[in-house]
Every structure is written in structure tokens, then in C-alpha cells.
Amino acid sequence: MQLTLATTRAAEIETAAFAVLCFSDEAPGPGLAAGLVQELHTRGEFTGKALETAVVHRPAGMQAQRLLLIGCGEKAKFDASAMRRAGGVLVRALKPKGITSAAIRLKGNTLSPEMLSALAEGAILGDYEPDRYKTEKKNGSKPFESLTISIPAESAEMAEALRRGRTVAEAQNYTRTLVNEPGNLLTPLKMAAHARSLAEECGLQCEILDEPRMRQLGFGTLLGVSMGSAEPPVMIVLKYTPAAPPASSDHLALIGKGVTFDTGGISIKPADGMEKMKYDMAGAAAVLGAMRAIAELKPAIPVTAFAPCVENMPGHKAQRPGDIVTSYQGKTVEVLNTDAEGRLILADALTYAARQGCTHLVNAATLTGAIAVALGYVYAGVFSNNEDLQQRLLAASRAAGERMWPLPMDEDYKDLLKSAFADVANIGGRWGGSISAAKFLEEFVEGKPWVHLDIAGTAWLEEAKPFLAKGPTGLPVRTFVRLATDWPASL
């Protein structure tokens, strides 16, 4: 999508559709479309409530062919997150009508670099469709081509805000494309190929640890998961190094769970809904997408991504419930349930990241159904052993508009993982399942400051929204990028 800044007056912009942001608690004043909005409001056709739209053809006094009214709710509550949704609504309201270009004017409380970035992100995210393999495209056969954003005066700050918004949104859509790939077309080796291409394109260092190398290192928990599959596992490592020497020794690690398809293994999942388990690599896809944006935005600290990728299948060599495996760290794990596999591959990845010199670890994983029981499909769960890093992550998530909520990590929960036969069990029972899973991961971070994001309830959208297509959301790419680019000289 072409995004263009302009200073042309709204009435003079020639476009297929001109969008106007309208508030539910603000009477339209004199100016563009004010009388028209008031008339529609009086007739009850448009009230300005959030995500509501109305289209008017051939608006008087304008060069635009159509006027798109976008409801934004209460003016005082309109923030960057609301602007991001409005940008998505703009695109998704016009595309089904065959309209692929539009314009919008930012002014007043909608005019700021933050708002501009959010609008760009929302428009690009709204343009994404999960219909790559459909021969007939129903929601507009063409991608949205251009959006002109009119502002009172151009500046380097606004141009940079637009660039940042585009960069982050395109990285998020890259992640969504990976997550949407079916398991037969996106195996661990294919994930590795995507990582290599990404590294070559963006100037990142790339290393792929194959099965013999991981066996040599002693990645017993990761390799145990892959035993039942004919597809070999990989560990993807992508490295970003800033051009200038960093001011501190801080080195951020982004780690993502990459189960390209999860049957549950011997502890097999029910058939109903198993087709969605192609999204069990959303954490790995998110760290790849984040690295794409980080390579362009160039934060001041080094960032390394680790993506352990496996397929969890119930083949004749598959890991069994009751098996005991030895992790890279040296701890032994009793595998009580082979469907708790994500924490097993992350265990080795977290220890490897810590031993590679990373000082702060952040991982994302579609880890537990329990997190959706606790928080629904609205918030991602946040777990940490370090309050400072947790608060910095939460600040990044708020700035990025991705909703996350911290959960407790008291030592009492560790008792749930006791095993009579190994150092630790890989599950802790039904109650507090997302927390006991996090406590399991904590065993392998080598004491480093660490945050775990459980995105099982938020990485996939079950039904389309007015601003976003059904399917992969790309969360938490924006938070990861914000965390890296806002990183201080020392934490």
C-alpha cells in the first residue's frame, strides 16, 4: 500500500473516497460534511459510535467521489489504539466495494506522530486477507493501493512516524502470513528457509542449528518433542547488531515457540479444532516479524531471536507419557503429557539464549488453553521473574496497543511441578495451568531477567472484526519492536 503525506485541503483532494473521523459525543461544527453528518444523526443512520460507518456519494463541495464517515466513539477516549482500529475500518469498509484508494485529514486531537503511526498501522493491517489459497477472493479481489493522509504541515517527525508505522505493520503482516500457512506447506525446514531469506533481505546474521548439532549440544527436551515426526527440527537464530557500539552490555533475546503443527503427540488432541494447530508456531513467527522491523528501525542495543521449530506428531518413534528427558541445562524432565510440548522446546531455547550472552530474555508462545480461560481472547498473559523488565514490557505493550496482563508467579506454584522420578514434571495439573507452565519455563532461564508471554488466546482471531480479518493477529510483533527501540542505555 502506498502511504502519502500531503498538505492539500480536504475539499480539494481528488480521491475515490475521503474518510472523516466522527465522534459520538461531539456535534459536528461548521466545515466539511458537518450538515450531512448532522442530518444522518437526526435520522438515526449514523451516530458516531465506535466502528460504525456510513458512505455518502458525490458530497457537495468536494473533489472526492465518496465520503466515508467512521465512528470513533467518545472524543476524550480516542487514543492511538482507537486510531489504529479506525485505519483498519477505513480500508475494510471500502475494499468490498471495489474501492482501493482513499484520503483522510488529520487535525486537532487526531494530529500527532503517534496518531499518524497508528493510522498507518491500522490501514496496512486492515488490508491483510487470509485468502492466499482461495481461487475466488470475496472481500475485494485487489489489495488496497493508496492512502493519502492530509496534515496541516509536513515535517521530518511526521515523515518518520509514517515510516515507522508502515515498517511495523508490514512486519506484523509478514508474521500473519507465516502463521496462516498450513502445516503441510510450512515445516520446520521451511521456517528455516524463510529465516534465511529474511536475514539476507534485511542484513541480519542467520544461523540454523540442525538436528545433529542440537543432539551434540544436548537439546534433549526439544529433540524429545520432534521424535514422532518425519520432519527434522531446527533452531533458528537471527542476530541484529547496532552499527554504533552499545552504551551498555544489555543484549535482548526474543524467543518464540515454533511448533509448526501440533497434534498433541501420543497425548493426542481431539479432532475438533485441531486444524487450527497450524498456528502453534505464532510465537516463532512473531520473533521473525519483529526482527524484520528491528533491522529497519535500528535500535541501539543488540537483539537476537531464537525460534525452536518442531512438528509434534504421534509417529512410531514418538515420545511417550512417562518418558524422562535431559535438558540442555542438565535438568531432567518427566513428560507426563506430550501435548505440553511447547514448554519443552522453549526450555532448551531459553537456556541456549542465556548462555549465548543475552542479558534479558523475552519469549512468546501459544502455550496454554488455560490462559484463555483466565483472560479470554482479549489479553495476553504476562509472567516474569523480574519486576523492572516486566514493567518495561507492559509499557511497550501499552504504547504498541497490544493488551497484556500480568499474572502471579509465587513459589507455591512451583510445587505443582514436583516429580517423584525427575527434577521436574512438564505439567502441573488443571488448576493455574498457565502459571505452572510459566514456572516450568522459569527453571531454564539461568537466573536472567525474563518475561514470558502466553499468547494462546490472542494470536488467533476466531471471527473477523470491522478492522481486522479472521485468523492470525500477528501479536506481539508491535510490543517486541517497541521494547527494543525504546530500550534505555541501561536497564
- CB proximity list for 450: less than 8 A, separation 6 or greater: 350, 360, 361, 362, 363, 384, 385, 386, 389, 441, 442
Q: For 32-51, what is the mean pLDDT?
A: 79
Whether a cis peptide bond, with omega within 30° of 0, leads into 476 is yes
Whether 230 has a pLDDT exceeding 60, the answer reads yes
Domain residue ranges in the chain: 2-152, 170-485
Residue 50 confidence class, pLDDT cut points 50, 70, 90: very high
Q: For 372-380, what is the mean pLDDT?
A: 97
Residues 84-99 pLDDT 10s = 999 999 999 999 999 9
pLDDT at position 293: 98
Rounded to 5°, angle at Cα 125 from 82 and 136: 130
Whether 61 has a pLDDT exceeding 90, the answer reads no
Q: Which fold has domain 170-485?
A: Aminopeptidase (3.40.630)
pLDDT at position 137: 75
> How would you list the strands of the sheet with 424-425, edge to edge?
324-326, 332-334, 424-425
Is residue 423 exposed (0-12), middle (13-18) or buried (19+ Cβ within 10 Å)? Answer: middle
* Mean pLDDT over each residue of the chain, to the nearest integer: 94
pLDDT at position 491: 43
Residues 306-361 pLDDT 10s = 999 999 999 999 999 999 999 999 999 999 999 999 999 999 999 999 999 999 99
CATH class of segment(s) 2-152 = alpha beta
pLDDT at position 388: 96
Q: For 183-194, what is the mean pLDDT?
A: 98
**What positions carry a catalytic annotation?**
269, 343
pLDDT at position 56: 87
Quote the CA–CA distance of 430 and 425 in Å, as a whole number.
14
pLDDT at position 247: 85
Whether 143 has a pLDDT exceeding 70, the answer reads yes
pLDDT at position 59: 83
Q: For 423-435, what is the mean pLDDT?
A: 95
Q: Write down the H helix ranges in 384-476.
A: 387-400, 433-442
Query: Grid cell 530500550 — which residue?
Result: 487
Percent of the chain with pLDDT over 70: 97
Residues 118-133 pLDDT 10s = 999 999 999 999 999 9
Residues 438-486 pLDDT 10s = 999 999 999 999 999 999 999 999 999 999 999 999 999 999 999 999 9
